[in-house]
Amino acid sequence: MTTPELDFLTATPDDVDILARHIRETSEGIVEQLLDNLFPDLTADDFLAMVLRESDTHFHTDNIALVKHQDTLIGLLFAYPASQHGIPEIMDRFLPPSRLDPVRAILTTSVPETIYINTIWTHPDWRGTGVADLLMEHARLLSEERGLRGLSLHVWRDNARALAFYARHGFREHQMIPAQAPLCARHPQGSFILTRGN
C-alpha cells in the first residue's frame, strides 16, 4: 500500500466558510452557545467566519494549518501561543454575559508557555489513517519553533475517542472545568484542560 500524497497549507480567507463549520462541529456546543441566533440574518458559522477574517485577533487563518489530499480538505489544526488564548475583542464587544459566562473558563484557561490547540479536526473518512498524528506533530514543531515548552488544549470529559487520542500523545490533566448551564445538559461531566511537554 502506498502512502497518499498530502499537501500541508496555511489557511486563507477563502477557506473560512468551511473552517467555521468544522470548528463549530468540533467545539461540541461552545460555538453554538456563543453565536447561535445572535443576529437574525447570521448563522453561527457566518459569525465565526467573520471573526476568522479579522486580521487583529488570534482567531485568524494565519493560525490554521490545513491538510489536503487531491484538493480535498482532510484535516485542520487551529493553534496559537497560549498567551494569546482568550476572548477576541470582537466577541467581547457583541456577546452578552449570558452567552460568554457559561464558557468563559474554557475560552480563557490555558497553560503558560505552550501552544494552545483550539481545534484539531480530521475528515471522518481519514480518521485512523495517521492524519491526526501528523497534525499533532505539526503542533509540537510549532511549540519548539517558538521556544515554548509544550502543548495544551480543551477537551470534553465525555469525548472518549479524543481523550484516548490525547492520552496516546502523552497529554495529562492540567485542570478540570466544571460544566456550566446550559452546556451541562450536553456535557454534564464538564471538561479538562490537558497539557504535554515537547
Note the pLDDT tens digit of each residue in 47-83.
899 889 876 788 899 999 999 999 999 999 999 999 9
When computed from its CA atoms, the radius of gyration of the chain, rounded to whole angstroms, is 16
Residue 175's pLDDT is 97
Cell numbers found for residue 133: 498524528
* Cβ-contact 20, 37 below 8 angstroms: no
The whole-model pTM stands at 0.94
Q: Characterise 150 by phi-psi region: left (phi > 0), alpha (psi -120 to 50), beta (else).
A: left
Note the pLDDT tens digit of each residue in 100-139.
999 999 999 999 999 999 999 999 999 999 999 999 999 9
Exposure of 174 by Cβ count < 10 A (0-12 exposed, 13-18 middle, 19+ buried)?
A: middle
Taking the C-alpha atoms of residue 102 and residue 156, their distance in angstroms, rounded to an integer, is: 14
What structural domains and CATH numbers belong to the chain?
A: 11-197 (3.40.630.30)
